[in-house]
């Protein structure tokens, strides 16, 4: 027994992945093509264990209507869409046609394209034009870190009671506790983490999965 979370070196991480839901050919090919096309941005893609967790959580909570803020090349949206029941919907928000053109091809390969609606443009604007009422059972947040608090304030009113938010990169590679790091994206994550702790509309936990994965439930 231990009261602290174990650190994951490469060997232990490989063990975790090997003992989680296997990565199929579609996701493996998508990860490989993303690394080839966008080598400087490949770290924006969620890891295989996060993908397996996302699919399982979507199924467990019975989500039917999901919104994703930050789609990139589509790995996380495939994982979310695979967790939806028949008739479920995923609204994917991103600013890049170049990145999401890859996503659209892989949505077709994965057989989930009919569940996904892509809206291109600044995600904050896309959220603000939606009715300010409970629309979603689950939200996945993985966009520009400086905007996390603003996204949060638009997402929470649009979550149904009991709805969930998953927010990625909430440890910022450990930089959240480096007081010498005052970069905007790290400070954006700190502000977001502090906002959640003070927000009595939700109950939340910051999980040391990947680069930090926060799970919050609308009360």
In angstroms, the CA 37 to CA 110 distance is 20
Please, what's the b/e burial string for 20-48 (b: 16 or more CB within 10 A of its CB; e: otherwise)?
beebeebbeebbeebeeebeeeeebbbbb
Check if the beta carbon of residue 89 is closer than 8 Å to that of residue 115: yes
- In 156-211, the DSSP E strands lie at 159-168, 202-207
pLDDT at 3: 66
Average pLDDT, integer, range 111-116: 98
Q: How far does Cα 108 stand from its chain's mean position?
A: 20
CA-to-CA distance for 54 and 27, rounded, in angstroms? Answer: 14
What pLDDT is attached to residue 88?
98
Give 19-60 pLDDT, tens digit per residue: 999 999 999 999 999 999 999 999 899 999 999 999 999 999
Mean pLDDT of the chain: 96
Give pTM, 2 decimals. Answer: 0.95
Per-residue pLDDT, 4? 65
Query: Is the pLDDT assigned to residue 1 strictly greater than 60?
Result: no
Q: How many helices (H) and strands (E) does the chain have?
A: 8, 7
């Amino acid at each position: 027994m231990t009261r602290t979370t174990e650190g994951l070196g490469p060997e232990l991480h490989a063990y975790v992945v090997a003992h989680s839901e296997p990565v199929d050919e579609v996701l493996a090919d998508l990860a490989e093509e993303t690394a080839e096309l966008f080598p400087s941005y490949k770290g924006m893609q969620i890891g295989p264990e996060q993908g397996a967790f996302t699919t399982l959580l979507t199924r467990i909570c019975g989500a039917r209507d999901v919104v994703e803020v930050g789609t990139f090349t589509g790995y996380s949206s495939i994982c979310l869409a695979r967790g939806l029941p028949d008739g479920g919907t995923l609204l994917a928000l991103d600013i890049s046609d170049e990145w999401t053109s890859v996503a659209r091809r892989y949505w077709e390969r994965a057989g989930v394209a009919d569940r996904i609606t892509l809206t291109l443009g600044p995600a904050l604007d896309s959220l603000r034009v939606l009715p300010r009422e409970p629309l979603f059972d689950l939200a996945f947040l993985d966009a520009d870190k400086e905007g996390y608090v603003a996204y949060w304030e638009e997402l929470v009113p649009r979550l149904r009671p009991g709805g969930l938010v998953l927010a990625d990169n909430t440890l910022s590679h450990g930089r959240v506790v480096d007081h010498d790091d005052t970069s905007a994206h790290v400070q954006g994550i700190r502000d977001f983490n502090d906002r959640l702790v003070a927000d009595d509309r939700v109950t939340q936990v910051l999980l040391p999965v990947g680069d930090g994965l926060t799970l919050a439930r609308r009360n």
